[in-house]
Structure 1
Amino acid sequence: MTPLRTPARPLVRAAAVLLSCAASVPTALAAAPAATAPTGRTVHRVAPGGSVQAALDAAAPGDVVELAAGRYPGSVTLATDGVTLRGQGAGTVLVPDPADRGSCAQAGNGVCVTGSSDDRGAPVRTLSGAVVESLTVAGFPRNGIGAAVTDRLTVRRVSVRDNGMQGISVEMSTRTALTDNEARDNGQAGIFVANWYDRKGGALETRGTEVSENRLTGNRIGLQLRRVRGLTAEANLVSGNCGGVFVVGDDGVPRAGALTVRDNVVRANNRYCPPIPRLDSVQGTGILLTGTEDVTVSGNRITDHSGASPMSGGVVLYPSAVGAPNARATVTGNALDGNLPADLADRDPRGTGNAFTDNACRVSEPAGHC
Structure 2
Amino acid sequence: MSRAVPRPIALLVAIAVAGAAVTACAPASTASLPPATAPCQAGAVEVPPGADALQSALDAAVPGDVLQLSPTTYSGRFVVSKAGTTERPIVLCGSSGSVIDAGGTEDGYALHLDGASFWHVQDLSVRGGQKGVVLDAASHTELSGLNISGVGQEGLHLRSASSDNLVHDIVVERTGLTDPKYGEGVYVGSAQSNWCRYTSCEPDRSDRNVFERIEVRGTTAEALDVKEGTTGGVVRASVLTVGPDAVVDSAVDLKGNGWTIDDTTVTGPVDAVSVHVILPPWGAENTVTASSLQSGAGGFGVHVVGDARSAGNIVSCDNSVTAGASLANIPCR
Same fold (TM over 0.5): yes
What CA distance in whole angstroms lies between the structure 2 residues aligned with 1:165 and 1:266?
Answer: 21
Amino acid across the alignment from 2:175: N
CA contact (8 A) 1:306 1:339 kept: no
Does the alignment pair 1:92 with 2:98?
A: yes
Greater strand share, structure number: 1
1:15-34 equivalences under 5 Å are: 30=36
CA contact (8 A) 1:73 1:96 kept: yes
Match of 2:180 in 1: none
What CA distance in whole angstroms lies between the structure 2 residues aligned with 1:324 and 1:289?
Answer: 6
CA contact (8 A) 1:31 1:46 kept: no
What CA distance in whole angstroms lies between the structure 2 residues aligned with 1:152 and 1:197?
Answer: 24
Larger radius of gyration: 2
What CA distance in whole angstroms lies between the structure 2 residues aligned with 1:153 and 1:197?
Answer: 25
Displacement after TM superposition at 1:164 (Å): 1.1
Secondary structure at 2:224 match in 1: strand
CA contact (8 A) 1:30 1:47 kept: no
User: Any gaps of 5 or more consecutive residues in structure 1?
Assistant: 1-27, 99-104, 116-126, 249-255, 271-283, 347-354, 358-370
The alignment yields a C-alpha RMSD, in angstroms, of 2.9
What CA distance in whole angstroms lies between the structure 2 residues aligned with 1:230 and 1:206?
Answer: 9
What CA distance in whole angstroms lies between the structure 1 residues aligned with 2:193 and 2:169?
Answer: 27
1:314 aligns with one of 268, 285, 301: 301
Identity of aligned residues (%): 19
Displacement after TM superposition at 1:167 (Å): 0.6
Displacement after TM superposition at 1:260 (Å): 1.2
Aligned length: 270
What CA distance in whole angstroms lies between the structure 2 residues aligned with 1:108 and 1:290?
Answer: 30
What CA distance in whole angstroms lies between the structure 1 residues aligned with 2:238 and 2:107?
Answer: 29
What CA distance in whole angstroms lies between the structure 1 residues aligned with 2:324 and 2:184?
Answer: 23
CA contact (8 A) 1:161 1:167 kept: yes
Match of 1:12 in 2: none
Displacement after TM superposition at 1:336 (Å): 2.8
What CA distance in whole angstroms lies between the structure 2 residues aligned with 1:29 and 1:65?
Answer: 18
Match of 2:174 in 1: 185
CA contact (8 A) 2:275 2:308 kept: no
Amino acid across the alignment from 2:304: L
TM-score (norm 2): 0.72
What CA distance in whole angstroms lies between the structure 2 residues aligned with 1:315 and 1:209?
Answer: 22
1:279-318 equivalences under 5 Å are: 284-291=270-277, 292-303=283-294, 305-306=295-296, 312-318=299-305
1:123-272 equivalences under 5 Å are: 127-140=116-129, 142-171=130-159, 172-187=161-176, 188-195=183-190, 199-200=194-195, 203-219=203-219, 220-227=221-228, 228-241=230-243, 242=246, 243-248=250-255, 256-267=256-267, 269-270=268-269
Displacement after TM superposition at 1:138 (Å): 1.1
Displacement after TM superposition at 1:246 (Å): 1.2
What CA distance in whole angstroms lies between the structure 2 residues aligned with 1:211 and 1:42?
Answer: 27
Displacement after TM superposition at 1:48 (Å): 4.9
User: Any gaps of 5 or more consecutive residues in structure 2?
Assistant: 1-33, 85-89, 177-182, 196-200, 278-282
Distance 1:30 1:176, change over 3 A: same
Greater helix share, structure number: 2
